[in-house]
Chains A and B, each alone.
Chain A
Amino acid sequence: MHSFVYRANVLLTLALTILALMCVIASFSDNFNFPSPSAEIQIVKFNGFQKKPPGNDEVSLTMNITADLQSLFTWNTKQLFIFVAAEYETPQNSLNQVSLWDAIIPAKEHAKFWIQTKNKYRFVDQGSNLRGKEFNLTLHWHIMPKTGKMFADKLVLSGFRLPEEHRRG
C-alpha cells in the first residue's frame, strides 16, 4: 500500500501542475482581447519656462487628461499603469522621453476618467533646446496581469508646441 506521505506528495504535485497550467491558459487568453482605448490631452497653460542653473530648460505646465481605457481590462488584469510622457527630438538626442504624470488604475470602474493636473515630475531637457519646440504627448499604458505576460502600448497625441521665449511663473 502507498503511505500517507506518498499520497500527499502525489496530490501536491498534481495540484501544482494544474495550477501552473491554469496560469498559462489565463495569460494566453489575454491575446484575444482587442482593446479600443481613447484619450485626449489639452495643455491648459504653461506655468513657467526657465533656464535653470546648470543650463537646462525646465517647463512647468497644467494639462487636462480625458481617457477611456475600460476595454484594456480583462479577467486576468490586476491593474493598469498609465503615464503621460513628453516626447521630442533635439540636435543632440534622437529621442527624449520625459514622464510628466502617472497613475495606477486598480479596476475597470476607474478606467474612464477626467483629470486636470500639473506635471508630477520635472520636465527638464538635457540642454537648452526647448524654446518653440514641437513635441508629442504620449499616453502609455502597461497592463499588469494577475499572472503571465505583461502587455504595453501607447497613444501618440501630436501637435503641441512650447513658448518661443523663457518666462517666469
Chain B
Amino acid sequence: MGWIGDTVDSVKSIQIRQLLTQAVSLARQAVMILRRVWTLIGNCCFAKHIQFSIREETAVLENSYLVSGFILSARISVVLRHLLLVPGMIVTSALIIWKALMCITGSESPVVVVLSGSMEPGFKRGDILFLHMSKDPIRAGEIVVFNVDGREIPIVHRVIKVHERQDTGEVDVLTKGDNNYGDDRLLYAQGQLWLQRHHIMGRAVGFLPYVGWVTIIMTEKPIIKYILIGALGLLVITSKD
C-alpha cells in the first residue's frame, strides 16, 4: 500500500516538463514501432487479400531495413518479413516494458540480476530484484543497490548503519551482505568509510526467483543465445500464416 504511494510520489517528483517530453518521445517511438509491427503483422496475416494495396508501403519499409535488393520473389519477401517480425516484436515489447518500468520506479535500471552469493540464503545467484528509487531517506535494514567508484558492477547489500546530518540531511551509510562475515568497507574505494546518497542507485522492493538465469546463461554462453535465436527464426519460417 505504501508502495503505491511511493510510486505516485516518484511519478510526481519527476519534473513535469521532463515527464512531458519523455512521454511525448516515448509515445512517438511506441506509435512508430507499433505501426511498423502492425503493418508487418497485417502483411503476414492478410498478405493474400490486401497485398496489392500495401505493396508500396511494404517496399518503403523494406527499404528502410536495407533489404530491398533481396526482394526477388514474393516467397523471399514473405520469409524476410517474418524474420523481421518476430525479433521486432520481441525487441519492441521488451523496450516498452523497460521504459514503462523506468517511469514507474524512477530508477535508471529498474531490474537487476543477482550475480553473487553474498546475500544468501535470501537472494541466490540468478534471482531478480526490482528496484525503486524514491526521495525517501535511506534507513537501516533496507537492501540497496550501490556503485562504488572504480568498480563496474553494482552491488546489492543491506544497510546496517545510518548517520543522517542535522543541517544538510546528507547521509553516511554502511552496508553488509547478509552472508558475508564483515561489513563492506573492504569493497569500498580505498580509504572510503561510508556510502553517500549519490552512490545509491535504488532500493530493492520486489523479488522473483530464478528468472535471471536466462541472462546469466546468455552472457556466459553466447552459443546458447544464437541457438535460441536460430530456433525462433526457423519456427517462424516453417510455421504457416
Contact = CB atoms under 8 A, between A and B. Distances in A.
Contact-residue bracket for chain A: 35 or more
B139 interface: yes
Contact of A81 (B1, B122, B206, B234): B122
B163 interface: yes
A63 interface: no
B190 to A, nearest CB: 18
Contact of B140 (A78, A85, A126, A149): A85
Contacts of A3: 238-239
Interface stretch (B12-20, B57-65, B109-117, B164-172): B164-172
Nearest to A85: B140
B161 interface: yes
B141 A142 contact: yes
A169 interface: no
Interface in A57-104: 78-79, 81, 83, 85, 91-99, 102, 104
Contacts of A6: 235, 239
A79 B119 CA distance: 12
Contacts of B122: 78-79, 81, 104, 144
B150 to A, nearest CB: 24
A121 B121 contact: no
A27 B205 CA distance: 12
A3 B235 CA distance: 9
A97 B121 contact: no
Given A5-B238, A83-B141, A149-B206, A95 B164 contact: yes
Given A145-B207, A150-B206, A140 B141 contact: yes
Interface in B136-180: 137, 139-143, 158, 160-166, 169, 172, 178
B235 to A, nearest CB: 5
Contacts of A94: 164-166, 169
Interface SS of chain B: mixed
Interface residues of B, number: 34
B159 to A, nearest CB: 8
Interface in A131-160: 140, 142, 144-150, 152, 154
B140 A83 contact: yes
A85 B205 CA distance: 21
A23 interface: yes
A62 B114 CA distance: 35
B235 A5 contact: yes
A150 B160 CA distance: 17
Nearest to B208: A147
Given A3-B238, A147-B207, A149-B205, A98 B166 contact: no
5 A-B pairs closest in CB distance? A99-B160, A97-B140, A97-B162, A95-B164, A140-B141
Interface of B: 1, 3, 121-123, 137, 139-143, 158, 160-166, 169, 172, 178, 183, 204-209, 231, 234-235, 238-239
Interface of A: 2-3, 5-6, 9, 23, 27, 31, 78-79, 81, 83, 85, 91-99, 102, 104, 106, 121, 126, 140, 142, 144-150, 152, 154
29 contacts: A5-B231, A6-B235, A31-B1, A78-B122, A79-B122, A81-B158, A83-B140, A83-B141, A83-B160, A85-B141, A91-B166, A93-B163, A93-B164, A95-B163, A95-B164, A96-B162, A99-B140, A99-B160, A99-B161, A104-B178, A121-B183, A140-B141, A142-B141, A144-B207, A147-B208, A147-B209, A149-B205, A149-B206, A150-B207
Given A78-B121, A94-B169, A96-B162, 17 more contacts: A5-B231, A6-B239, A83-B140, A85-B141, A91-B166, A93-B164, A94-B165, A97-B163, A99-B141, A99-B160, A102-B178, A121-B161, A126-B163, A142-B141, A144-B123, A149-B206, A152-B142
